[in-house]
Amino acid sequence: MMIDQKNIEKKIIIDGYSLNIEDVVNVARKNYTVSLSQKSLVNMKKSRNMVENLVDKKEVVYGITTGFGKFSTVHIDSEQTEQLQENLIISHAVGVGNHLPEEVVRAIMLLRANALSKGFSGIRIEVVQTLMDMINKHVHPAIPEKGSLGASGDLAPLAHMVLVMIGKGEAYYNGELISGEAAMKKAGIHIIRLKAKEGLALINGTQAMTAIGALAVSDAVQIAKTADISAALTCEALEAIPAAFDSKVQEVRPHKGQSTVAKNLLSLLEGSKIIAEAQHGRVQDAYTLRCIPQVHGASRDAIDYAYKTIEIEINSVTDNPILFPDEGEIISGGNFHGQPVALAMDFLGIAVSELANISERRTERLVNPALSDLPGFLTEKGGLNSGFMISQYVSASLVSENKVLAHPASVDSILSSANQEDHVSMGTIAARKTREIIYNSRNVLAIELLCAAQGIDLRGGEPAEATKIAYNKIRKIVPKLEKDREYRLDIKKVVELIEKELLINIY
């Protein structure tokens, strides 16, 4: 792992109330460090005192002096509370599959620390500090991606995170997978011994699905902006009719996203001589051009919904039971249930999938000589050269895969924990699927951008000022296609252009 030295001194101070998605991205991807606010120290100490008083009084409280789930009726003696918490972690760390990416693991740790810092979970300050030390010193637990039902929270993934905190499990340190104990020792972080309530506080929450979701909604915003740019370039390559983007059309159907996209397209295409001088004689375009505001706009509205849902969730208390020290109450509730995130992630996956669907159809119009007056597959020497023929195949394959992935996970449920947990959200599955949809869609847009730039080259004429900037950014890294070459390299370069947000800054 390469550590970005310039970001080492950049710090996020968490208090459980003010974290935003940009903060999550900065910690997860740019290696910002984290620390606790003074407010959090006060609140956490208050709730911890409450837990210790309950243990001293030998009161029967779920998860503190009882077993978990179906075993909530089993009373645990005070001298066994530490063993209870450790057993919880080692028994729940049974996830399977590939390890979650480093950026997701960093986001998970940040979100768990942030939720605990609110002071409603009864955990010691030093335990949360250990979690933040792991973020700051780049100890990244090996967390398998599969095994969460998303309703007692993300029990299995978070248990793998906590394993390393207690000197067990595995972790990545300096890019090497080693034992959790060795990683903590090399980083100079003290291994902890969990006390009453702490194991449950650490793993009973929605932080795995929400971490994936926070990065996904950030990426989805990037994709939506990129989709408008790729669409504008295609509009020029195909000599689209911009009248459909007129503000009057949007005003009589005033969806926010639709209006935004129409304004973007008019701005991007302003001054385009290619469009102004078009002689095609059409009075209207196919839907993939004419309905860009309606389709892109609906996806933007869905992305906005998911964004707002995730920002609420990253500052929420999602463990159980919840302590209210000021009122002297401890309440067993269901905030760990991932349904809000599950629905948002399913909706987000569908929204991004649709951006890719319409992009692939625009690509088809660019490469198909029956649908435009451009050379077949955008090559001037067809036959000897295949041009973008198979690039469109790849795009079609990716959107078809997206259609399978976009099937909502949240409509499913399954019984677990001897029917105690009899409705589950599948939120982590929804988030993981959406992450894959975003990966696919970014590649679909890269292919459209390549085809649109080639279409403009073949069309000739003067593009708009804004689209010309985007065109030049593409041509700076990928030259005009004169003969067949390794297109995979071109696609990869444009994907990196999208990921680094070097296109969307033309707005």
Q: Which residues are catalytic?
A: 62
Residues β-bridged to residue 324: 329
Residue in the block written with tokens 């009075």: 283
Size of the chain, expressed as the number of residues it contains: 507
Calpha distance 213→348 (Å, rounded): 9
CB atoms within 10 A of CB 99: 18
Separation CA 156–CA 506 (nearest Å): 43
Cα separation, 209 vs 315, in Å, equals 14
Cis peptide leading into residue 144 (ω within 30°): no
CA distance linking residue 244 with residue 258, whole number of Å: 12
Q: Can you read off the two tokens belonging to residue 351?
A: 């929204």
Q: What are phi and psi of 385, to 5 degrees?
A: -115, 145
Neighbours of 401 (CB within 10 A): 15
Nearest Cα to Cα of residue 17 among 313, 215, 305 = 313
Look-up of token digits 């929270």: 153
- In the numeric block, which tokens belong to residue 285? 């375009």
DSSP 504: G
C-alpha dist (Å) from residue 83 to 76, 122, 197, 418: 10, 17, 11, 23
Q: Are 102 and 1 in contact (CB under 8 A)?
A: yes
Cα–Cα distance, 62 to 66 (Å, whole number):
5
CB count within 10 Å of CB 109 equals 27
Please tell me the distance from the alpha carbon of residue 299 to that of residue 3, in angstroms, as a whole number. Answer: 35
Inter-residue contact 158 to 166 (CB < 8 Å): no
Return d(Cα 396, Cα 363) in angstroms, integer. Answer: 9
SS3 sequence of 422-487:
CCCCCHHHHHHHHHHHHHHHHHHHHHHHHHHHHHHHHHCCCCCHHHHHHHHHHHHHCCCCCCCCCH
Tokens standing for residue 269: 């295409």
Q: Which are the contacts of 492, defined by CB distance < 8 A and separation ≥ 6?
A: none
